[in-house]
Amino acid sequence: MVKVAGRQRLNAKTIRNMKPEDRAKLLDDLRKELLRLQSQRSRGTLESPGRVRAIRRAVARILTIMNEEAKTKTAK
């Protein structure tokens, strides 16, 4: 599993090298963690606010790459 925000950066090259199943699982895991962090933020118990931003960006990066690959498959 690739760590986001702090330890190891989840960049586009890493995401493109993943299998589609792994990418989908990572997306699901990140969305669950984002939901957990957002609920912590609403309660006022969030320890690292920067993590929310990093996860949101990672989710967007994964979705962008998935959409790019879907477009190239339909174009062929």
pLDDT tens sequence across 2-49: 555 545 678 999 999 999 999 999 999 999 999 999 999 999 999 999
Tell which CATH classification among 3.30.9.10, 1.10.357.10, 3.40.50.2300, 1.10.287.310 matches the domain 12-75.
1.10.287.310
CA–CA gap between residue 68 and residue 52 (Å, rounded): 24
CA 32, 56, 19, 24 torsion-angle sign: positive
Q: Can you give the pTM of this predicted structure?
A: 0.85
pLDDT tens for 48-63 read 999 999 999 999 999 9
Quick count: other Cβ atoms within 10 Å of Cβ 15? 19
Tokens of residue 19, six digits: 């299998």
Q: For residue 10, how many C-alpha atoms fall within 13 Å in the half-sphere facing its CB?
A: 23
